Chains A and B, each alone.
Chain A
Amino acid sequence: MTMRITDQMVYGSQARNLQSSLAALAAAQQRATTGLKLQRPSDDPAGAVTSLQLRGEQAQNDQYVRNITDGTAWTSAADAALSQTSTLIRQARDAVVQAGNGSLNQSALDALADKLSGIRDGLLAQANTTVGGRSVFAGTSDAGAAFDASYTFSGIAGSSVTRRIGDGQSVRVDVDGSAVYGQGATSLFAQLDGVISDLRAGNPVGYAIGQLDAAQQAVGSAQAAVGSAENQLAAAKAAQATAAVQLTQRRSDVENVDTAQAAIDLTNRDNVYQAALLVVTNTMQTNLTDFLR
């Protein structure tokens, strides 16, 4: 049986079609103006979960970058302090070698002792280098200085300052001051004090060369460790920069519309709606009563 068409059917379906056309147009406008295809989770439930994960990873990534910047400040400070320390130890060694040259009189030895005393103060200052108020060589201690006037080391054995620079990846950014400078009576500072008093007393100080060489070696290995940490930080920074771009890209794939597509879509929907309006205005005007006389 052919379907009988009635006025209510015609007007009803025209109204429904106009409504759905307009709804599609509104949705296209919303997408085009916000640039988002993921307005609410039901638009794409799997995409919504992915988006949450990507946002989480992005936040973590931003945090890693902050950690790396902070860590770099520590390693730069440690590196500078160690270079300075190395220079000072070389100067001390030169002075000791000079003192071993038997032709020097006591006043010259006193002058060398004065020089060594200055070097010792310089080393102590380097050993107490701080970053943001925290000691580079005794990172987890709140004593304020790594070595006090009696050369007691305030650091805690086995503890370290680390920075998290990636998933499950941490790097140590401080240096164990006791490994570089020793501590208490056997510290580099106490050894220099011994050399200074021997010089003032006119005693031979040749034994100190071995001590200074050992100290120089300790500095060298600490520098190697800091250098490797700096490399790790730099590599991580580059990796995080790449990851940031990728994460933004992936999040955009999930959340954002293709602008060109959205614009075409919008124009398309707009045309459909206008055409629907035109059809409705044309057909609704005619009726049998128009032709009856």
Chain B
Amino acid sequence: MASTFSGIETAYSGLTAARDAMNVTGQNITNAGTPGYTRQRLQQSAAIPATETHFASPLAQPGQGVVVSGIQRLTDELTNARLRTAQGQQGFTGMRADGLQTLEDGLNEPSDTGLAAQLQDFWSSWQDLANNPGEPSAGAAVLSDAQSVVSQLASGYRQVATQWSGLRTQLSSLADQVNQAADGIAALNGRIQQATAAGASANELIDQRDQLAATVAQLVGGTATTQADGTVAVFVAGNLLVSGQTANHVQLAGATGLEGAAADPVRLEWQAHPGQAIAVDGGQLAAGISLLAPVAADGSGGALAQTAEAYNQVATALATQVNAVHEGAVTADGRTGLDFFAVAAGGPAALGLTVVAATPADIAAAAPGAGSLDGSIADRISQLGAAAGSPDALWAGLVGRVGSASQSAQQQEAVAQASLTSATKAQQSISSVDTDQENLDLITEQSAYQSAARVLTSVDQLLDTLINHTGIVGIS
């Protein structure tokens, strides 16, 4: 038999539950635009009757109202993991596409001012010299065009070297960001454990932690798994970045300039284990490290180093091929065996290339014994650009390779972007706030509150009848 006053308790539980639910709905609505916010819902269940019914009193007993058991976070681990993978992919492809696009813009091809055009001008000036050997102005044109090619090669090379160092600096700061995020996740792991142990809601803390896990995924492609104790463990390339309240820091090591990259490749390593590279396979850092990789003999090295190497190859081919013909020629004053270009030993050829011939008189255009106004050697030099293996062909090959690499990187970025969009949608479909729905919930909760208050009034009136008006029948 239920207590006379139990109705008051029932109505009260309804009032508080409705108020709590409205608070949760309010929290959802106010955070509708908060990035990373996961919608919440009040978990409530009907309270069972106060005393067990036993065989002796088979009387029906109503429940004791409503019980609030917690605030649930509406999320799905699998969808979150899928989103993090997509973010890692997007970080990787985006960084790579950006790097390659900067690189190909630096080539300045096809254009009227690029290296291909400069080389063509250079060959044409030799042809003009062949037409007018001994003409100082024709010789001067050859020298000035040669100088343009030399400075274009050097500035192109320096541009790649600058991009390399800039990217290296950027990656260092990305590695610092990984450490900060790892520290944040470790600290939140501790707070979440404490809150859960105290029975408090840790939902907002978990949201923050998920945000940081997403950052780590985007930076180094780290994967996060939730442990039984409520903490998450974050793995990078199979090793723990964060475990419980401990964060293992990473650092970027290796050469700080393009020239040193071959001997000391740029790599990410654990601060606790210097010298051992982490095989990062996703995120912006992996993309950056792949762009900074040293030259490989088969051309599969880092895009920046390969491009710088191509500048060197063009410089070397230009010097070797022109010199080979020029050495067999005679100047107007009878000197022979002269070099036209020189490449300084040691250091990159693109920076060490110089024009040896100082004045038009130092240019040898004539074949030996064919007369001092012969231009046949100048004519032969002018044809070098069209031959197989010419500097022009090497350069065109480089432009084609960088263009293809950039094109495929852009396509991969588009694919990764599409998959990120779809993963984001799936995640938002489950976790983000729909204000229409919250408004409907609010109406439901409001009327639940009003109705519970009505129940209270009814019980109150019932008690009033019982206490004040019972047993006074006939008393006036």
Contact = CB atoms under 8 A, between A and B. Distances in A.
Interface of A: 3-9, 12-13, 16, 38, 40-46, 48-49, 51-53, 55-56, 59-60, 62-63, 66-67, 70, 132, 134, 139-142, 155-156, 158-159, 161-164, 167, 170, 255, 287-289, 292
Contacts of A63: 124, 127-128, 382
B421 A41 contact: no
A42 B101 contact: yes
Interface string B370-390: 111111100100110110000
Interface stretch (B171-179, B435-443, B460-468): B435-443
Nearest to B121: A59
Nearest to A51: B110
B335 interface: no
A142 B372 contact: yes
B124 A59 contact: yes
Interface in B80-125: 100-101, 104-105, 107, 109-110, 116-117, 120-121, 123-124
B399 A6 contact: no
Interface in B121-147: 121, 123-124, 127-128, 130-132, 134
Contacts of B440: 288
B369 A156 contact: yes
17 contacts: A4-B429, A7-B432, A8-B432, A9-B432, A40-B101, A41-B403, A42-B402, A45-B407, A48-B400, A49-B399, A56-B392, A63-B124, A63-B382, A142-B134, A170-B379, A287-B436, A292-B443
B323 interface: no
A140 B371 contact: yes
Nearest to A289: B439
Interface residues of B, number: 65
B370 A140 contact: yes
A255 B33 contact: no
A73 to B, nearest CB: 10
B429 A41 contact: no
B110 A38 contact: yes
A6 B104 contact: no
Nearest to A159: B370
B424 interface: yes
Contacts of B434: 4-7
Contacts of B332: 142
A45 B374 contact: no
B454 interface: no
Nearest to B108: A40
Which has the most chain A C-beta neighbours within 10 Å: B110, B382, B407? B110
B48 interface: no
A262 B435 CA distance: 43
A60 B379 CA distance: 12
Given A6-B429, A45-B407, A134-B373, A55 B436 contact: no
Contacts of A42: 100-101, 104, 402-404, 406-407, 410
B310 to A, nearest CB: 13
B379 A164 contact: yes
Contacts of A140: 366, 370-374
A3 B426 CA distance: 8
Nearest to A9: B428
Q: Of residues B101, B117, B371, which shows the largest number of chain A Cβ atoms within 10 Å of its Cβ?
A: B371
Contacts of B107: 41
Contact of A156 (B371, B396, B403): B371
B116 A52 contact: yes
A170 B376 CA distance: 11
Interface string B405-440: 011001000000000010011101110111110011
Nearest to A167: B386
B379 A162 contact: yes
A56 B116 contact: yes
B396 A49 contact: yes
Given A6-B434, A7-B434, A288-B440, A139 B371 contact: yes
Nearest to B116: A52
Given A12-B424, A48-B399, A159-B371, 4 more contacts: A9-B428, A12-B428, A42-B403, A42-B404
Nearest to A156: B371
Given A45-B403, A56-B385, A156-B371, A6 B110 contact: no
A169 to B, nearest CB: 12
A58 B344 CA distance: 34
Nearest to A64: B127
Nearest to A173: B131
Contacts of B424: 12
B433 A8 contact: yes
B110 A55 contact: yes
Contact of B433 (A6, A139, A156): A6
B376 A162 contact: yes
A288 B435 contact: yes
Contacts of B425: 3, 9, 12-13
A41 B428 contact: no
A6 B432 contact: yes
Nearest to B443: A292
Contacts of B400: 41, 45-46, 48-49
Contact of B372 (A41, A141, A158, A292): A141
Contact of B109 (A5, A46, A52): A52
B410 A67 contact: no
Which of A46, A59, A170 is packed against the most chain B CB atoms within 10 Å? A59
Contact of A66 (B128, B375, B399): B128
A6 B28 CA distance: 12
B439 A288 contact: yes
B32 interface: yes
A189 B279 CA distance: 89
A40 B103 CA distance: 11
Given A52-B109, A156-B369, A287 B403 contact: no
A6 B432 CA distance: 6
